[in-house]
């Protein structure tokens, strides 16, 4: 089976849904944010604070490109779509799923915006970040799942059904 790559905004549920989806699909689970933290022995917020947003995006791109994923559900960081090289690599042997969540719901979910480690310029709102990233999520998505009002388990069911239809 191809890899399944989850993309979407911070707070969309990529990590939570990814673990459940991996169990459902009998696949491994990888979170690229955790790969970055492991490589640098620091939290994402610390890396962004110390190195800056632009350098963080380069690090994210490099870490994704340096790793190989097989039979895995890969939860990417919300900013992974800025790394063209990384996205090419991820899409090569994968089905890319955009977990779409409304801005108002994201604002409710993301209460720790400054400590969470979100690659964004100071003073940027969630709505502004969404408008910057949404076109890239749509560009790279093979499948889009509207997760509005769905539990993580319902999102997993929707993804599995859509993948089955494509088979």
Mean pLDDT computed over 100-122: 80
- Given a cut of 80, whether residue 111 has pLDDT beyond it is no
Q: Given a cut of 70, is residue 70 above it in pLDDT?
A: yes
Band (15; pLDDT cuts 50, 70, 90): very high
The predicted pLDDT at position 93 comes to 86
CA atoms within 13 A on the CB side of 61: 13
For range 79-88, the mean pLDDT: 95
* Digit-coded pLDDT (tens) for 128-157: 999 999 999 999 999 999 998 999 999 999
Q: How is 138-161 classified by DSSP, letter by letter?
A: HHH-SEEEE-TT--HHHHHHHHHH
Q: Are 93 and 87 contacting, i.e. CB atoms less than 8 angstroms apart? A: no
Count CA within 13 A, CB hemisphere, residue 75.
22
d(CA 135, CA 141): 10
Tokens for 135? 């076109």
Angle between helical axes of 14-25 and 152-166 (0-180°, round to 10): 50
Position 125 pLDDT exceeds 90: no
Is residue 113 predicted with pLDDT exceeding 80?
no
Sheet holding 3-7, edge to edge: 28-31, 72-75, 3-7, 94-100, 143-146
In the chain, % of residues over pLDDT 90: 79
- Res. 116: pLDDT tops 70: no
pLDDT of residue 145: 96
Give the mean pLDDT of 84-108. Answer: 93
What percent of the chain lies above the pLDDT cut of 70?
A: 96
What's the pLDDT score for residue 115?
60
Q: Which residues contact 63 (CB under 8 A, 6 or more apart)?
A: 32, 35, 36, 39
pLDDT of residue 18: 97
Residue 1's pLDDT is what?
65
């Amino acid at each position: 089976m191809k890899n399944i790559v989850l993309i979407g905004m911070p707070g969309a549920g990529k990590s939570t849904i990814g673990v459940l989806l991996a169990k459902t699909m009998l696949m491994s689970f990888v979170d690229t944010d955790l790969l970055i933290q492991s490589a640098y022995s620091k939290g994402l917020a610390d890396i962004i604070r110390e190195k800056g947003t632009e350098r963080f995006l380069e690090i994210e791109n490099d870490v994704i490109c340096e790793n190989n994923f097989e039979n895995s559900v890969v939860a990417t960081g919300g900013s992974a779509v800025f790394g063209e090289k990384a996205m090419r690599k991820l899409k090569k042997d994968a089905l890319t799923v955009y977990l779409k969540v409304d801005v108002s719901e994201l604002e409710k979910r993301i209460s720790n915006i400054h400590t969470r480690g979100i690659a964004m310029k100071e003073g940027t709102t969630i709505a502004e970040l969404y408008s910057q990233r949404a076109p890239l999520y749509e560009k790279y998505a093979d499948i889009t799942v509207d997760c509005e009002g769905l539990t993580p388990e319902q999102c997993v069911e929707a993804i599995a059904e859509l993948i089955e239809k494509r088979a």
